[in-house]
Amino acid sequence: MEIEQLADEDCHINNGARKILLGKYEMGRLIGQGTFAKVYRGRNLATQENVAIKVLHKDQKWNDGLLHTQCGTPAYVAPEVLRKKGYDGAKADTWSCGVILFVLLSGHLPFRNENPMRMYVKILKAEYKFPPWISMDAERLISKLLVVDPEKRITIPEIRANSWFRKGLAQSTVSANDSEDDGNGAGSEDPEEFPGRTGIKALTAFFQCF
């Protein structure tokens, strides 16, 4: 059984004891709680059957069209997810794609710290540094992906129109046989455009996910 917040009329005094009655159910003790609800032991007054009653927190009942559940790998989550004020899932995923692209080209995370709270501060400020081997065009795209304000972050159509992305997408379609014939797994990769530690094979999935 699931309800939204308890009303005063649900509470009754019976033999000096305060009881909460919800129609044919009597609510008992709290048996668990989470971010969005509390769960109480309940009893069906007609059948004496034990039930679980979930009471949703009123302030967690969202009607703003945004997501409010914090989830994801900490180093990859967008700033707006950490702020707990609601976020657009697609825009948050765009940030995460920026982190993934940075990792693919650099070989390490953009936001790193052994202390999680300090790492979150870096994420909230978009505080990171590019290694010297990433091209300027790739830096420009990543910089547009890792924008703290989700409303100013680059969109999927804009990513697909980006010249560096389009070149990488075209090169990612090179057949596996062509890549293997090169002998070092680089295929037709342009070393000036893709000078990172991963090679075009590892980037193929990134380009094609858009």
- Torsion, Cα 109 110 114 120, to 10 degrees, reads -130
The answer to whether residues 131 and 106 touch, using CB atoms and an 8 Å cutoff, is yes
Three-state DSSP state, 181: helix
Other Cβ atoms less than 10 A from the Cβ of 196: the count is: 22
Is 54 labelled as part of a ligand binding site? yes
Q: Whole-angstrom Cα distance, residue 48 to residue 137?
A: 69
The answer to whether residues 28 and 80 touch, using CB atoms and an 8 Å cutoff, is no
Phi/psi of residue 162, each to 5°?
-65, 135
Two tokens at 91? 């825009």
Q: Residues forming the annotated binding site? A: 54
Known binding-site residues for ATP equal 54
